[in-house]
Structure 1
Amino acid sequence: MTERVQLDRPALEALATAGTFTGLGPDRRAALWAAGAAATTRAEHLPGLAIGHDAPALPGMTTFELASADLWATGITAYRHPIEFLRTHLDELGAIPAGRLLDVPDGTRIRIGGAVTHKQRPATAGGITFLNLEDETGMCNVIMSIGMWRRARQVWLNSPALLVRGIAQVGHGTVSLVADQVIPLDLKSLASSSRDFR
């Protein structure tokens, strides 16, 4: 296929990560392994000369890795949401699932953990910055003051998942969280440390 379409390596890697080629035979890891060699294969080249098409025996992807790969490559997942793998840890930290935010009284200090889905920069004219967090139950709008943005700027910019503490603003069927603390969540290490061995 790559001989005709001539996709570059990043495009082929994204397609392999999303599972596009699994219907043709290779699993995601094998397809990702072969993406580099496939990107250099062209119709005018002699067949069979590219090195790297055949992947060694690789372990299958865990459900968490499949969900994370889908979310990275496509923005959605047919598997479980990656934050679902952290729910026990988030519950221990006192984080509320997004689906229960409307039950929280206005003005309550709460915690929520989730994957960062949107960042609004530059800030509004008043210096306010907005961020969306998503967990397996829904989304939460996070509001950051100028000071909060400056204090935690590197965390906000570099972390794909966060635990945010702040004051809930509940009204008219919506909830926003005015952040006063942010902690990065390491999805991979937390998920791998809490595997389900059923």
Structure 2
Amino acid sequence: GMSRRQALWQAGVAATEREGMLPGLSAIAPPALRGMSAFELMAADVAAVGVTHDRQPMELLRVALGEAGILTAAQLRQAPDGSRVRLAGIITHRQRPQTASGLTFLGMEDETGLINVMVSVGLWNRQKILARTSRALIVRGIVQNATGATSVVADKLEPLEMGSWFSRGSRDFR
């Protein structure tokens, strides 16, 4: 019978109560709390349990990303081999296999699917902090899909500023 924000407030109050305390001392009348926006609800879900239950976070940015010419994973699969594209997603993992001559592979996802990104040694070295620490990125690169498996060879990485709210982190170099 209460909003998520009111429930979080009550949970915080309940967490301060300890055995041996006089009952009701930690009860504080909550201020008037407005309901949470869709973004705030999603960010609270990610912070609490690491996932969202009803939507993929990239959905919240899709209109703005689309207006900027940034493709979805589904659109990427239709892009011509050799074309330059921009796409965005949450980083799910980073890998650098011994057999890959120093290439780093980024696994990313958006609301329409998975995206495979290859980052050269040179690009990794130029943008190491961004590449290593971002939870979500905008990637510019060249599509490779002649063999039926679609991937992007990155030539530029850009921060996706809202990305820190979309993920608690990726599985890296395992």
Whether TM-score is above 0.5 comes out as yes
Which of the two has greater helix per residue?
A: 1
- The one-letter code of the counterpart of 1:124 is P
Pair 1:150-2:117 in alignment: no
Flag the 1:172–1:75 CA change in 2: closer, same or farther, 3 A.
Answer: farther
Pair 1:32-2:4 in alignment: no
Match in the other structure for 1:179: 154
Q: In structure 2, what is the Cα distance between the partners aligned to 1:153 and 1:27?
A: 42
TM-score, with length taken from structure 1: 0.69
Match in the other structure for 2:166: none
The runs of at least 4 consecutive aligned structure 1 residues that moved more than 4 Å come to: none
Pair 1:137-2:112 in alignment: yes
Flag the 1:27–1:172 CA change in 2: closer, same or farther, 3 A.
Answer: farther
Match in the other structure for 1:164: 139
Q: In structure 1, what is the Cα distance between the partners aligned to 2:53 and 2:90?
A: 16
What is the identity percentage for the equivalent residue pairs of Structure 1 and Structure 2?
A: 48
SS in 2 for 1:91: helix
For structure 1, the 5+ residue unaligned runs are: 1-24, 189-198
- The one-letter code of the counterpart of 2:64 is H
Flag the 1:160–1:59 CA change in 2: closer, same or farther, 3 A.
Answer: farther
- Alpha-carbon offset, residue 180 of structure 1: 0.9
Which residue, out of 87, 97, 101, partners 1:124? 97
SS in 2 for 1:103: coil
Moved more, 37-46 or 132-141: 37-46
Pair 1:93-2:65 in alignment: no
- The one-letter code of the counterpart of 1:32 is L
- The one-letter code of the counterpart of 1:116 is I
For structure 2, the 5+ residue unaligned runs are: 164-174
Match in the other structure for 1:60: 35
Q: In structure 2, what is the Cα distance between the partners aligned to 1:91 and 1:128?
A: 29
1:92-143: per-residue Cα shift (whole Å, max 9, x none)? 22211101222122222111012222233xx332222222222111110112
Structure number with higher relative contact order (C-alpha < 8 Å, ≥ 6 residues apart): 2
Match in the other structure for 1:105: 80
Q: In structure 1, what is the Cα distance between the partners aligned to 2:103 and 2:127?
A: 14
Pair 1:70-2:72 in alignment: no
Give the aligned CA root-mean-square deviation in angstroms: 2.4
